[in-house]
Structure 1
Amino acid sequence: MDNARASAVLDAYTASEQLIAERVETAVLERVTGFGDWYNHDAVTALATQLTALVESGQRNETALTDAYLQRIIAETIGTEVGSTALVDPATLRQGTTHVGAYTRLANQYRWQISLGIAASAAASAAVNRARTMAKTDLRMAARAQAQKTLSNKGVKLYRRVIRPELSPKGVCGICLAASDRIYFVGDLLPIHNGCKCAVMPIINGKDPGRFLTRGDLDRLYADAGDSTERWALFNQRYEITEHGEIGPMLVDPKHHFRGPDEVPMALE
């Protein structure tokens, strides 16, 4: 598969992913915006159940799309058709909890903020923003898990992280830029972060189209950075991979501290 073809297949995958994400985000926000029964256990559970149905439907679409995308890349690289892979069950992706359990935490956050004296409108807005972030993360987790399953099923050993600047109107984050210049083993889940939009490109029989796609994006981004100080900052971005107990491997900036479970105040029940 030549680089232009790989880029075209990736672009088609990206466009379809965007449609899935937009549908899920719109539906999730419609349910959470204006919700007011944050102290009503039954109402909160009903809301979390509705959000779970929306998110898991989107995740099923995401896994099917990711499997089809990788099938196409692999088939065109090796020159022969390959079959589909069984899809990942979205309900299994959050480690140690269910989606319903995770989305009921929106109420915990709201109650905790109210207990701190934060205005109800601000607390509700924070819950909406958290719901949006959670839904996006859940979709990325589905794509990541399916990519690993499909590539493993097809005997692929290595992959590259591919940045997608067209999905980042505010710019690709530095840690994704740094991480995209590395090769990963398929046995290792792709590390993500909140708002991550990176895709996976397999490396097969020494053929590494992702290297050329990423290199072109990196060169354009470094050039667009302008003065030498900004380019230097991009080239010298560092990252670490940490293990989130529920989400899995995540990319973090080692200069920043992220609170662990023991440091987060217990939310009101």
Structure 2
Amino acid sequence: MDWLQVLLLALIQGLTEFLPISSSAHLILPQALLGWPDQGLAFDVAVHFGSLLAVVTYFRRDLLVLAGDWFLSIGGRRSHNSDLVWMLAAATLPAGIAGFLGKDYIEMHLRSAWVIAWATIVFGLLLGFADRRGGGSNTLLQMTLSCAVIIGFAQVLALIPGTSRSGITMTAALLLGFSRVDAARFSFLLSIPIIAASAAYLSYQLISVPEVDWPVLGVGFVLSALSAYACIHFFMQLISRIGMMPFVWYRLILGTLLLVLFWQ
């Protein structure tokens, strides 16, 4: 990969991983418009770890509180924070199991430009519906195990390229009556085990890769982490005011552009 490809792909990964706009829909565009080859497994690992570092760093205080209360619950001091850890674990299981069992089918049948384009449009419209009709005032204090499991099963749909993991989990949370801010917060916290598992799996596959370009991976990691952190920060600052509709319109334009580009 040349340095322009490294910089652009790392920025795309960092900026789109947590916005409800589908990172896979964006990563297919440089290949289509510029004829770039696949970035390779090692680069995927680097940018995934960059995104993971960003979300863990941003929510470090929340994570420390959750971890502390969870350990206290082992001794019998149960709290909503300790319960929330179990809810996040329960919400992670459906997508984790589905991804493990269905990864080969997804790679063979669902990674086409047409699937990505239509998923970008359809799930963008669903996000708009949820933002207009579903969003409420519930906070994470109102999160229950049943709500967490419903959001977890919605996350399974993110295995369809173009859906957007953050987009579909926020959609489900909004439809369950959670506020935009708390829907986003739960979605971002839920991303941590999923991204960690994905990065670990990709790292395992990387063992068989003979050569690794460490400077390229280092730049990809740092740039992905910085752009992802900035994305989370500004999204959390603005979401209660701007809502989801700017992202919905963006998805509709992007999906239409993909359909035009790959029309045959």
Q: TM-score, normalised by structure 2?
A: 0.29
Q: Please say which structure displays the higher CA radius of gyration.
A: 1
Ranked by relative contact order (alpha carbons within 8 Å, sequence separation 6 or more), the top structure is: 2
Q: TM-score, normalised by structure 1?
A: 0.28
